Amino acid sequence: MEIVNFEEKFLDDIIKIEEKSFINPWTKDMFLSSAKNSAVKFRILIKNKTVVGYYVISSVADETEILDIAVNPDFRKQSLGKSLLEDIKKEAAGKIFLEVRKSNVAALNLYKLFNFEEIAIRKRYYKNEDALILRLVKEII
């Protein structure tokens, strides 16, 4: 298993995972635009030569926002989400923020393992569902 920087050759696999994972998936153009942004890190999780997950983060000053993160549903429950979050912690600046559907119990449990705390709610952020805003303050060693 390895985590590598985005290359366009991975895009079709990423789109398939995105469409399986989200009600309102990102488009190819959204991913390509993010990949060109110098404030963004776009990393891909490869297992046995297969794209099994990815994340997109944006960092400004001492804050990082997780813009998108997903693991292929066929590969979930293998600690791959943990691997992605560990890599995000290494790549991120200072505080890490994200929004997550209030009903996404699996994701919320993962974020709690990493000590993310709920700091706010965005009402109807996902059309008819609230988003929880989570924050992780990285430990300074």
111 assigned to active site: yes
Catalytic residue among 63, 65, 99, 129: 99
* Residue 86 annotated as catalytic: no
3-state secondary structure the chain: CEEEECCHHHHHHHHHHHHHHCCCCCCHHHHHHHHHCCCEEEEEEEECCEEEEEEEEEEECCEEEEEEEEECHHHCCCCHHHHHHHHHHHHCCCEEEEEEECCCHHHHHHHHHCCCEEEEEEEEEECCEEEEEEEEECCCC
Q: What amino acid positions are annotated as catalytic residues?
A: 99, 111
